[in-house]
Structure 1
Amino acid sequence: MPLHVKRTGALIFLALLLASCASKPPKSLVTPLPPVTKHPLPDKSHRDQGPMRGIWLATVSRLDWPPVSSVNISNPATRNSVQQKALTDKLDKLKSLGINTVFFQVKPDGTALWPSKILPWSDTLTGHVGQDPGYDPLMFMLDEAHKRGMKVHAWFNPYRVTTNTKPGTVAELNRTISLNPASVFVLHRDWIRTASDRYVLDPGIPEARDWITSIVAEVVSCYPVDGVQFDDYFYTETPGSTLNDSQTFQKYGAGFASKADWRRHNTQQLIAQVSRSIKQLSPGVEFGVSPAGVWRNRSHDPMGSETSGAAAYDEAFADTRLWVQQGLLDYIAPQVYWPFSRKAARYDVLAKWWAEVVKPTNTRLYIGVALYKVGESSKNEPDWTVNGGVPELKKQIDLNESVPHIDGTILFREDYLNQPQAQEAVSYIKTRWGS
């Protein structure tokens, strides 16, 4: 195809995408967004914000929101009222604790928490994939958070299609064939694989990566989000449920020394493409990733950290350090979910290692902290239960706020603020950060 035809097609698609925010969708809008021109990321000196004090708010399996019981309410108006009240109550509490940014999971799997032209509605809202809840949760979240002076980053799980492979789940997805849009599970069955006992997209298929990019582009084009974040689920496997991408590797892997190198290249391609697309569509929207805390262990690589934990480079096939070095990210938020005393992956060792990685770059560093472990007894990590976990949490936040090149803290995750074992820590956070 001549280059000018491709370029014209790309421009037509972007125009359709922007117009689709307020108009009836065409019959199908799963056309992938093509790669676009790279724009420079904003320099650190342009910051107009204090330290990040963030929290993740998960919607997958209704972990944090919406309330599990709300989907059983038969009256849509009542159900929506309950869900919206639950969300504003959470935002009020977060505001009182001094949280300034919410990482809101808008794509928990192959479904959406906004009226997408590409993905069907999430079943987390109504109990049924593709059922319109009668309101726009992403817009509601943005309006309410911004009203309270808080920022919202749209959190996407890029490749997960479902959280299980049960026959009932398959039947639910198959029923979407009559919907517009239908599930990717039925529209592009050839992109679907199983891994970790769930359905996922095969990251080695270029069209699948383009499709993910088009979903992010839809949100960035249509909503005043402050940022976009991908979590750590790139290649996800378990020993008993590996991703069978042998045929994909055979088709696309020529020239790579190993399947592992090819997989890392695929993840790199997605990150680069999404980064460029966001910067073209809305340069002020930040793009970040929240990977596993360990890039590589020093035992495998002299540039790695003095740790012995599961490494993103080797296990998720995500070269997270390289993305920082190449300027593809506005921020990185590694999940450093261990205490100072955990020898395999010491909190201070990893946080300082990451600070050195971002030091010569324009990428901001936020450290993900394990609120979910606070107050929970653990044989390997007893520090979380000493005085309600407050001394450990204090040490971690102290480090984050004192080490140069660490720009803030993000807590995982919101519902743990409501758990009995975490209440001493919650009181401490309010005293430290709250108004």
Structure 2
Amino acid sequence: MAVRTGIARWIMMMLCIATIAGCSHKPPEKPVPVIPPTAEKAPQPMRGVWLTTVSRLDWPPVASVRAAPQQRIEMQKRAMTDKLDNLVRLGVNTVFFQVKPDGTALYHSAILPWSEVLTGTVGEDPGYDPLAFVLQEAHKRGLKVHAWLNPYRVTMNTRPATVAALEHTRYNSPSSVWVTHRDWIRIASDRYVLDPGLPEVRDWITSVVTELLERYNVDGIQFDDYFYYETPQSPLDDTQTWRRYGQAYADKASWRRNNTLLLIKQVSTAIKAKKPAVEFGVSPAGVWRNQSDDPRGSDTRGAAAYDQASADTRQWVALGLLDYIAPQLYWPFSREVARYDELARWWARVVKPTHTRLYIGVALYKVGTPSRTEPDWTIEEGVPELKRQLDLNDKVPEISGTILFREDYLNQPQNAAAVNYLRSRWGH
């Protein structure tokens, strides 16, 4: 018995030694922890700001364009980092930077000429890459950057000086789309625009987005609400395009809406194929349709994206083409034609059965500004109205955050009380 016990002890000792020796070469695998869904970290709410470059509304500083080249670059960079620092203090986490305000770019492109907002001249190299600079400085500060594009606009006016500037780009590389594809250009709302009914135009816009993704580490791509953009005084003349491509449709309006759908489908597919992690979103007018025109619409009486811009934004959400939608709800709670709470809850119902996130665009530009039809923006300097809107955004589960329009209003004296409130609510 003693012998067997001794042998058993010896065998056990040898097994332990072998085990230890094996462990010295390969440590035992740790079990993979199973994290229940309830333990996952909730995504941070969107706290965004649109930073507008068209007409230099937010950036770059107008005075910088008149400065000597090196001073201009320094002024523009300093102005941008000052803005980013201010956004961080405010508690903003995402900047929607307008990189394509028209048919030009604020980044290095082989398709679009440089924007005149940078130097005063279309196509002139600014001496640095603004988008690359914004990405570097924003990411360093923990801010995300969505590249904001106007897909169809070519210019802000049709003045002879504007035409001459576009024509002059034929001596540059790249030239303006005005030069390379003059047959795509139409007039609408007293501006030069691309014809959305042309398949080549949709391909061109998609190539602009694809190039942007290939060259820059942006966190998102956003289109604004300018799709079919016309006024009764300056309608888009797309009759020839309609005759060529639209005869299978019951009416021109249905054909136009299909054209915008095709663009969104094409761009969405391209983004997911190129960089699936990049978010694709649209910021449309706040009213999809009014109930008086469609029982599925909101209880409002405002201009509707479906009818005015030929943008069936509700359909885009239902089809899963967007990662997020950011409707512009630029009215107070008391505005009967388009109540903020009515529209916010309507959009919440639209996104609820989908995977599309809902961010609400809020009218910072109206805060503190007297208005006969919307007096709430000046009651106690607009802070109670702003608080009501942000409270609702936080309360409704389907609303994933807020985007303020627009950045420069954070610096306006009439907004001081509202900015202090935002800092106390969002700031660190």
> Which residue of structure 2 aligns with residue 348 of structure 1?
341
Distance 1:217 1:424 in 2: 42
* Residue pairs, 1:312-331, within 5 angstroms: 312-331=305-324
- Aligned to 2:48, the other structure's residue is in SS state strand
Distance 1:138 1:49 in 2: 26
> Which residue of structure 2 aligns with residue 142 of structure 1?
135
Query: Is 1:246 matched up with 2:244?
Result: no
> Which residue of structure 1 aligns with residue 45 of structure 2?
51
Alignment CA distance shift 1:407-1:186 (3 Å)? same
- Aligned to 2:344, the other structure's residue is in SS state helix
Q: Which amino acid aligns with 2:347?
A: W
Match of 1:396 among 384, 389, 394: 389
Alignment CA distance shift 1:349-1:429 (3 Å)? same
Deviation of the 1:178 alpha carbon: 1.1
* Residue pairs, 1:253-272, within 5 angstroms: 253-272=246-265
> Which residue of structure 1 aligns with residue 75 of structure 2?
82
Q: Deviations over 1:237-268 (max 9, x none)?
A: 11110000000000110210000000000000
Q: Deviations over 1:60-113 (max 9, x none)?
A: 00000000111001x211110000000000000000000000000000000000
Query: Is 1:72 matched up with 2:66?
Result: yes
The number of residues matched between the two structures is 390
> Which residue of structure 2 aligns with residue 220 of structure 1?
213
Distance 2:114 2:41 in 1: 35
Q: Which amino acid aligns with 1:63?
A: L
Q: Deviations over 1:291-333 (max 9, x none)?
A: 0000000000000000000000000000000000000000000
Q: Which amino acid aligns with 1:72?
A: R
Distance 1:291 1:395 in 2: 22
Q: Which amino acid aligns with 1:101?
A: T
* Residue pairs, 1:262-411, within 5 angstroms: 262-411=255-404
Deviation of the 1:48 alpha carbon: 6.2
> Which residue of structure 2 aligns with residue 13 of structure 1?
none
Q: Deviations over 1:375-418 (max 9, x none)?
A: 00000000000001000000000000010100000000000011
Percent of matched pairs sharing the same residue? 69
After superposition, the CA RMSD in angstroms is 1.0
Query: Is 1:110 matched up with 2:122?
Result: no
Distance 2:94 2:148 in 1: 12
> Which residue of structure 1 aligns with residue 224 of structure 2?
231
Q: Which amino acid aligns with 1:294?
A: V
Bigger relative contact order, structure 1 or 2 (CA pairs below 8 A, ≥6 apart): 1
Query: Is 1:203 matched up with 2:196?
Result: yes
Deviation of the 1:190 alpha carbon: 0.3
Distance 2:246 2:402 in 1: 38
TM-score if structure 1 supplies the norm length? Answer: 0.89
- Aligned to 1:423, the other structure's residue is in SS state helix
- Aligned to 2:399, the other structure's residue is in SS state coil
Match of 1:182 among 166, 169, 175: 175
Q: Which amino acid aligns with 1:430?
A: R
TM-score if structure 2 supplies the norm length? Answer: 0.90
Query: Is 1:431 matched up with 2:420?
Result: no
Q: Which amino acid aligns with 1:68?
A: V
- Aligned to 1:431, the other structure's residue is in SS state helix
- Aligned to 1:407, the other structure's residue is in SS state strand
- Aligned to 2:378, the other structure's residue is in SS state helix
Distance 1:49 1:137 in 2: 29
Alignment CA distance shift 1:267-1:46 (3 Å)? farther
**After TM superposition, which residue ranges in structure 1, 4 or more long, deviate above 4 angstroms?**
45-48
> Which residue of structure 2 aligns with residue 12 of structure 1?
none
Query: Is 1:125 matched up with 2:109?
Result: no
Distance 2:242 2:62 in 1: 40
